[in-house]
Amino acid sequence: MTKTKICGITNTKDALLAAKLGAWAVGFIFYKKSPRSIGGFKAQKIVKQLPPFVTPVGVFVNQKEGAVKDILDFCGITTAQFHGDESASYCKRFGKKYKVIKALRVSEKFDPKSVKDFPAAAFLLDTLSDEGYGGTGKTFDWQAAKAVKNFGKPVILSGGLNPENVLWRWRMSGLTRSMSPRAWKKRRGSRIPTSSSNSWKRPGFKTCRTAGGAETS
């Protein structure tokens, strides 16, 4: 079953819309350099309004362990996504209390065997870019997802997905659980549906919605 996650939530309206469209999880970015960063008080308020069975995820980039745990506990979030250069030992220290999603940036030199080092519940694959740690909208060779999937952990695809390519990418990569179709338009500081084109009604998005929703990262 394909599951989906909307990342970069900054307001209650977007969070509830994501849930209505079938998202399995919504991500809150606690990285100040991101245009969609959010503070703990605001995130906590949104988390409290999420419906049952929608998982809130805290997204962090190279932040101190104590600060991360304080934010997670304050907001009532039990899943942490590490999108920076966090080591395997760093991730391991979160494993007893929290679920960990480790983001790996993919380039031509990416070695799928590197996932073996991380004690993560799932892996998110995104494109390596000099522009930042994620959210660039650029694609990578998603054949790498097949190799990562062979290690028995859920894989989340991120980067450059849209209603036109998502179904084809899903079939090509062989994923059956987690993916991230880019069916939402970026606006600085928020995520909004591309309502002008009704993108969530297009065939690729409808397929993902039936399987579990729509995601972007």
Catalytic residue among 14, 126, 130, 208: 126
Residue 14 falls in the annotated catalytic set: no
Q: How far is the C-alpha of 122 from the C-alpha of 91, rounded, in Å?
A: 12
Residue 91 falls in the annotated catalytic set: no
How many C-beta neighbours within 10 Å does residue 169 have? 21
> Helix axis angle, 40-48 relative to 65-75, nearest 10°?
40
Q: What is the largest CA-CA distance in the chain?
A: 46
Residues whose CB falls within 8 Å of the CB of residue 170, separated by 6 or more in sequence, listed in order: 2, 179, 207, 208
58-67 LR contacts (CB < 8 Å, sep 24+): 58/27, 58/28, 58/30, 59/7, 59/27, 59/28, 59/29, 59/30, 59/31, 59/83, 60/30, 60/31, 60/84, 61/31, 61/33, 61/34, 61/133, 62/86, 63/30, 63/31, 65/90, 65/93, 65/94
Residue for token pair 């729509």: 214
Catalytic residue among 7, 75, 91, 208: 7
- Measured torsion, CA atoms of residues 135, 138, 143, 145, in degrees rounded to the nearest 10: 0
Task: Please give the positions annotated as active site.
Answer: 7, 126
